[in-house]
Amino acid sequence: MEKIQHNYVDVRGLKLHIAEIGTGPAVLFLHGFPEIWYSWRHQMIAVADAGFRAIAPDFRGYGLSELPAEPEKATFRDLVDDLLDMLDSLGIHQVFLVGKDFGARVAYHFALVHSDRVSAVVTLGVPFLLTGPETFPRDLLPNGFYMLRWQEAGRAEKDFGRFDTKTVVKNIYIMFSGSELPVAKDDEEIMDLVDPSAPLPDWFTEQDLANYASLYEKSSFRTALQVPYRAWLEEYGVKDIKVKVPCLLVMGEKDYSLKFGGLEQYVKSGMVKEYVPNLETIFLPEGSHFVQEQFPEQVNQLIITFLKKLI
């Protein structure tokens, strides 16, 4: 960890934080929620040791990156445009993208609009998904589903505000480590789904929790609730919905997201290949939504093997 360097890059009027280690072909890691650059700590070191330049930014408004003036107006396209400007600032023309959770959507969006800059895409926990209102299966989801709750302006803020930042992060990690969709009853909020005495996952330490909490105490959850949750229905803005570069998807068999609107069938039946034809999919039998932190050595080997085939 001490070998990882931390710097700031001026990107579209904001100072964005990047963690970096190694030299060689660039591999850019894009975090999800409630994650941050720190969620890639295991992968960055392994990839650097394998001969790559590993870079993990905090998205705008996340962690050590600057908060935009109006976080509630942030969009996925902002993150894509930030990424392009960041690569240009770092002098990187060609990049391997590795995205987790909603970071997967940013990676695929970037590959659609800037295909000439992307060598390959690896995603964890989330496959390629279509976007726009007609593709969000709202009618197939229970009213208390966490994504629907967090899309409501002010609701998550009120819910989270009952606890300190560390407890909020802890609760989300515990919830998202399960195999069931987080769904609250009408008289419950999402934070109520976690028993206060519930332990952290055995692969997630108290020090990890403290590190995450300190980063969210700095950034707050303002941008995080906007992107991904309240910007979720935003479209890619391109006509040719086909990711042409080689792609790898790694998912845990016990990832709760597989129960999201027929996602498991979409992946396992091969329907996803209609949009990502050059896709390899690997499932880890005991894996949760946080496979890269839960099984770092396995995930590291899968990523490195995939990348090395392409250089």
First to last CA, the chain: 26
Q: Whole-angstrom Cα distance, residue 85 to residue 42?
A: 26
Catalytic residue among 216, 229, 256, 266: 229
Q: Whole-angstrom Cα distance, residue 11 to residue 204?
A: 32
Catalytic residue among 58, 82, 101, 159: 101
Active site residue 186: no
Active site residue 109: no
CATH number of the domain residue 223 falls in: 3.40.50.1820
The total number of structural domains in the chain stands at: 1
What would the pLDDT profile of 77-107 be if each residue is shown by its tens digit?
A: 999 999 999 999 999 999 999 999 999 999 9
Q: Whole-angstrom Cα distance, residue 231 to residue 237?
A: 14
**Confidence check: pLDDT of 135 > 90:** no
- With bands split at pLDDT 50, 70 and 90, how would you rate the model's confidence at 139? confident
List the one residue out of 122, 294, 82, 149 whose CA is nearest residue 208: 294
Active site residue 229: yes
Give pLDDT, residue 2: 74
Could you list the residue range(s) of the whole structural domain that residue 170 is in? 5-309
**Confidence check: pLDDT of 134 > 80:** no
pTM of the model: 0.97
